[in-house]
Amino acid sequence: MLNIIIAGPPGSGKGTLAKLMIDKFGFVHLSTGDMLRNEIGLGSPLGKEVESILARGDLVSDQIVISLIANNVKANPGARGFLFDGFPRTLPQAEALDDFLEKTGHPLKLMIQLEVDDAVCEMRLLRRGGIENRPDDMDVERVRHRLATYYAQTVPIIDHYKKQGKFIAVDSSKTPEYTLNQVSECLKPIL
């Protein structure tokens, strides 16, 4: 089983790449945002707890997110591998994910960092905000704040996986197919 993190700044193409990788390799996509929205939509006890946390403007705890990930991994025992999107966001989350995956006997294989200029990310996010009517993507100052937050939180994660020899960076400034081709080349030795 291959467990892979797709990382990159907001607007770098993580969701698009994940869809292409699912089609090509048969991985299961685990987006923490999607999982949280799903729990809220189900009206589960966890969903109600998450909804009240988000309504207060607070962040969902690492314990809740790890629990969601564990539940989704256990619900897909025959998966070829998992693509983690939106997680981990902090070094403690990366360490918790590493511990969990080690216990499953399928440690993380790779962190793929999508690299693209901030100006391209801004343009993509503002365009998406207009198309999908997403408030967090419609204001340039909010977009810049999200980018700054991403970089502040992610540098320690990059260093963490570089030290483990589980890090690659690919250019995601061109077409999604171009990015997928780069990732496919990087995955050849571990597929």
Residue 188 lies in a domain: no
Considering only 6-10, 124-128, 147-151, 161-165, which range has the smallest mean pLDDT?
A: 147-151
What is the pLDDT at residue 191?
85
Q: pTM of the prediction?
A: 0.88
What is the pLDDT at residue 43?
93
The string of pLDDT tens digits covering residues 17-76 is 999 999 999 999 998 878 888 888 899 898 899 888 877 767 788 888 888 898 889 999
Residue 177 lies in a domain: yes
Residue appearing with tokens 């077409």: 175
Percent of the chain at pLDDT > 70 equals 99
How many residues are recorded in the chain?
Answer: 191
Residue 190 lies in a domain: no
Beta strands 2-7 and 28-31: pairing type? unpaired
SS3 161: helix
What's the mean per-residue pLDDT of the chain? 91
Residue 56 lies in a domain: yes
At 46, which CATH number? 3.40.50.300
- Which whole number is the average pLDDT over 121-148? 87
Interacting residues of 113 by C-beta distance below 8 A, sequence separation 6+: 7, 8, 158, 167, 168, 169, 170
- The identity of residue 175, as a single letter, is T
What is the pLDDT at residue 57?
62
Residue 86 burial (CB count, 10 A): 19
* Structural domain boundaries enclosing 103: 2-183
**pLDDT band for position 101 (50/70/90)?**
very high
Residue 191 lies in a domain: no
Q: 81 vs 67, 73, 101, CA distance in Å?
A: 18, 9, 11
The count of domains in the chain is 1
Residue 176 burial (CB count, 10 A): 13
- Which whole number is the average pLDDT over 70-83? 91
